[in-house]
A and B are shown apart, each in its own frame.
Chain A
């Protein structure tokens, strides 16, 4: 089994967002960065599948500036065999990112290419299915269950009001959702080993984006409303307000 994981470096989800002077991006000063949480499910799946197969290779791939190397090392520390840094200065839109990833993955001989369901910064949900389309591979998005055997996969994903069961043959693309597994924490041994694992740097050029960000702003703060009252006596008043003032019942 040869498995690739596409990994994105994202700002920590608990950090406070500060809008940069350009009013279209965030101020990265002092921000903590982490591997995209959904990509950790992908990393875990890759490592576990290789362990189960007893043979093969796992590769983690990240596109971005030099800081992504730190994130790649975190994947290596979890147990991925080697890393590829697709080095680019600027940023791009979902399709241009997908094109660069697809170009790297195309002749890699991968049985499985794993992504996160979405990146928690841009919320696109796009890179995985786009890469699959560009490479004409089967794709399952937002998998919460994944089994691989005899050159085929079976997966489950949550849809509104149910769970879809899907099948495809390998090679295939799968994007991973919470619930797929519990990502392991890197052990000290893994962290030491990660420093010596191969990390290849490949400069890439991103095409022009058709999706251009023109602004970024903080959402209007929700005004704290009022305390209607205390205990069950307040319920009648609450229902009246919901009916007559908020007009939602």
Chain B
């Protein structure tokens, strides 16, 4: 089957998750000798388009419209639904992708599978695996119909270099009614990586004692370079950290390569958001804390002694690497 991969850009730069979406799309297309067409919606020039062939796009379709500078849910749904000849549409399960996938599915009369963590093509049908019940169960499902819409969870499909042509085509943006308009995107003063996208997440909990101690985690995160700071609900509810950083059942679900839980006890609702991380490290002074039951590596002790040392070691390693 041919697959349409709807990619995301912000401020003219493709988001990291784009290569993951291509990897997922490639898997469906390759099962039947089909091709992958990437779709990029933008207000102007986008950097990184020339890399999309390398990461699996046979064709790169570019839709340019003023409304796509800040984004237009209605415009994006219109353009995506107007592309025909695809057996599947793949997006990222990000804020944008979760908004867009059901809109496209409703327009196409197609089934939708959100937050997919594994997928395959089976006799022309898309078969998916996805976490349900807050990660406490895994659902397997088959998507019937002529086209299936799928959003894939960030950090679960590794980018694959497959050396395709990546031929650019400009697509016509059909007339659409912007029922909602994006007036602005407010950004924090310092651009930071989102916990759901970072490959390393260092999260802190009540064990940090005071909000200003999160500086210790910020330092560790910047030593890694590709890391984001996360938080338990206890510290978000206390107003120490923004809700956007909360990991868990009522926060974000993250699947980074490395998750470091610092001063977090490991309540079931917290585990719901991070149990699919590749490697989990726990730092806690209570050797019986439940977080150690899911951690690959644990260090028992006072985080105020351990964190500075860890930051130092990571810096050393990065300097040598």
Contact = CB atoms under 8 A, between A and B. Distances in A.
Interface stretch (A74-82, A127-135, A183-191, A196-204): A127-135
A249 B199 CA distance: 10
B192 to A, nearest CB: 6
Nearest to A177: B243
A230 B300 contact: yes
Interface string B129-140: 011111111111
A165 B186 contact: yes
Nearest to A117: B98
Nearest to A19: B137
Given A227-B299, A238-B297, A242-B279, A248 B137 contact: no
A162 B10 CA distance: 11
B310 interface: yes
A217 interface: yes
A138 B180 contact: yes
Contacts of B94: 159-160
A52 to B, nearest CB: 22
A61 interface: no
Contacts of B103: 129-130, 132-133, 139
Nearest to B259: A248
Interface string B141-184: 11111000000000000000000000000000000000111111
Given A217-B137, A219-B135, A232-B305, A211 B130 contact: no
Interface in B306-321: 306, 308-310, 313-314, 317
Contacts of A93: 111
B232 to A, nearest CB: 14
B110 A219 contact: no
B185 A120 contact: no
A229 B111 contact: no
A161 B191 contact: yes
A248 B200 CA distance: 9
A105 B186 CA distance: 33
Nearest to A23: B140
Interface in B291-307: 292-302, 305-306
B283 to A, nearest CB: 9
A137 B179 CA distance: 7
Interface in B179-208: 179-188, 191-194, 196-197, 200
Contacts of B51: none
Nearest to A224: B293
Interface stretch (A43-51, A65-73, A106-114, A140-148): A140-148
B105 interface: yes
A165 B302 contact: no
Contacts of B144: 210-212
B96 interface: yes
A28 B193 CA distance: 40
Given A225-B298, A227-B298, A238-B310, A218 B181 contact: no
Contacts of A122: 132
Nearest to A219: B138
Contacts of A156: 186
B280 to A, nearest CB: 7
Interface stretch (B22-30, B39-47, B112-120): B112-120
Contact of B140 (A130, A139, A213): A213
Nearest to A209: B111
B95 A123 contact: no
A104 interface: no
Given A165-B182, A165-B184, A228 B297 contact: yes
A238 B73 CA distance: 45
A167 B145 contact: no
A195 to B, nearest CB: 30
B69 interface: no
A225 B258 CA distance: 14
B287 A227 contact: yes
Contacts of A139: 73, 103, 179-180
A21 interface: no
A93 B273 CA distance: 25
B281 interface: yes
Contacts of A55: none
A85 B309 CA distance: 59
22 contacts: A95-B109, A120-B134, A125-B98, A125-B114, A127-B102, A142-B99, A144-B243, A154-B183, A156-B186, A158-B95, A161-B194, A162-B187, A163-B185, A165-B182, A211-B113, A214-B140, A216-B132, A216-B137, A216-B140, A227-B298, A231-B306, A232-B301
Interface of A: 11, 13-14, 17, 19, 26, 37, 93-95, 98, 118, 120-130, 132-134, 136-142, 144, 154, 156-168, 172, 178-179, 209-219, 222, 224-232, 234-236, 238-239, 241-243, 246, 248-249
Given A124-B112, A248-B200, 14 more contacts: A120-B133, A126-B112, A133-B102, A161-B10, A162-B186, A178-B251, A212-B141, A216-B137, A216-B140, A227-B287, A227-B300, A228-B297, A231-B299, A231-B300
